[in-house]
Amino acid sequence: MKTYTKDTLIAELREVSRMGWIPNARPGNPGGIGNTLEDLLGIQENNLPIPNAAEWELKCQRTESTSLTTLFHMEPSPRAFKFVPKILLPKYGWKHELAGIKYPENEMSFRQTIHGVARSDRGFKVIVDHKFQKILVSFNANAVASEHYAWLRNVVLSAGVNELNPQPYWGFDDLHHKSGTKLLNCFYVQAEAKKQEGQEFFHYNRVLILQGFSFENFLTAIEEGNVLIDFDARTGHNHGTKFRLRHNARPKLYSQIQEVV
């Protein structure tokens, strides 16, 4: 495997960009855009072999993508409560769409992707509490959309209409440590994609060097809806609580941004 300095990697990425449209080396693989670039650079996975420097990653994304990127998994505190399977799912869940088909008749679901800008149609929102240094999950029955009124009646019977009590939360210190270990310095590469005669091609036409993860920027991204919290649980399995990132928002999390292509 090759090793690089930052300067030689920049030069290599500029050369890749000048190559124009490059065939997907891993057709049918969702990660083909990153795999193709790794093959061109002669590296493995997304870790960049840059000696005598902090850990670096290579992050690739399609320019036209609108999908969310998972940053990390982290269950809310206090963890002893097991909030998702023990409280949110049984008290605020609803019948799974495949109950009685793929799963048992009584299979329940709690799937919500929430952020700090507005409440979801089931009344959930993320609140950044700077005073008490917590990220909180909030519920407001008045914000529930009319199509969910039947569900709300069940919530009233099982949990009432008041705010979650206790509220699930992530402490700033724990979240700072978790996010700081996951969001390393990176070369952030974007590429256009096209298909021609059934073959997919990529043009790697934008490269940013992102350094200095900023926790303050991370909190702002939550408040502005660029970082979201995703719950995905059903009776038989909790898929884990994820912090997810909107397309094109990664540079907002860093204090230093350098455009090299």
Instruction: State yes or no: pLDDT of 52 exceeds 80.
Output: no
Task: Give the pLDDT band of residue 49 (cuts 50, 70, 90).
Answer: confident
Residue 123 φ/ψ region, left for φ over 0, alpha for ψ in the -120 to 50 degree band, beta for the rest:
left
Question: ∠ CA 31-33-15 to the nearest 5 degrees?
Answer: 150
CA distance 157 to 181: 42
CA distance 185 to 254: 8
* Residues 148-180: tens digit of each pLDDT: 999 999 999 999 999 999 999 999 999 999 999
pTM of structure: 0.93
Dihedral pair phi/psi, residue 238, rounded to 5°: -100, 115
Task: Give the pLDDT band of residue 30 (cuts 50, 70, 90).
Answer: confident
CA distance 140 to 152: 11
Task: Give the pLDDT band of residue 227 (cuts 50, 70, 90).
Answer: very high
Instruction: State yes or no: pLDDT of 53 exceeds 70.
Output: no
Q: What residue spans define the domains of the chain?
A: 71-174
CA distance 83 to 73: 15
For 238, other C-beta atoms within 10 Å of its C-beta total 18
CA distance 69 to 235: 25
CA distance 75 to 83: 8
Sequence-separated (6 or more) residues with CB below 8 Å from residue 162 = 141
Q: Decide: residue 55, CB within 10 A, 0-12 exposed, 13-18 middle, 19+ buried.
A: exposed
Dihedral pair phi/psi, residue 138, rounded to 5°: -120, 150
Return the pLDDT at 2.
Answer: 83
Instruction: State yes or no: pLDDT of 1 exceeds 80.
Output: no
For 179, other C-beta atoms within 10 Å of its C-beta total 21
Instruction: Give the chain's radius of gyration (CA, Å).
Output: 21
Instruction: State yes or no: pLDDT of 46 exceeds 80.
Output: no
Instruction: State yes or no: pLDDT of 183 exceeds 90.
Output: yes
Sequence-separated (6 or more) residues with CB below 8 Å from residue 198 = none
Return the pLDDT at 147.
Answer: 98
Sequence-separated (6 or more) residues with CB below 8 Å from residue 191 = 33, 37, 60, 61, 62, 63, 202, 203, 204, 205, 206
Task: Give the pLDDT band of residue 29 (cuts 50, 70, 90).
Answer: confident
Task: Give the pLDDT band of residue 50 (cuts 50, 70, 90).
Answer: confident
Average pLDDT, whole number, for the chain?
Answer: 95
Q: What is the bridge-based pairing of β-strands 56-62 and 185-196? A: parallel
Instruction: State yes or no: pLDDT of 136 exceeds 80.
Output: yes
The architecture of the domain spanning 71-174 is 2-Layer Sandwich (3.30)
CA distance 191 to 112: 30
Q: What are 135-143's contacts with CB under 8 Å, separation 24+? A: 135/169, 135/170, 135/172, 135/175, 135/219, 135/222, 135/229, 136/167, 136/168, 136/169, 137/76, 137/164, 137/167, 137/168, 137/169, 137/229, 138/163, 138/164, 138/167, 139/92, 139/163, 139/164, 143/119
Instruction: State yes or no: pLDDT of 31 exceeds 70.
Output: yes
Asked whether 226 and 245 are in contact (CB, 8 A), the reply is yes
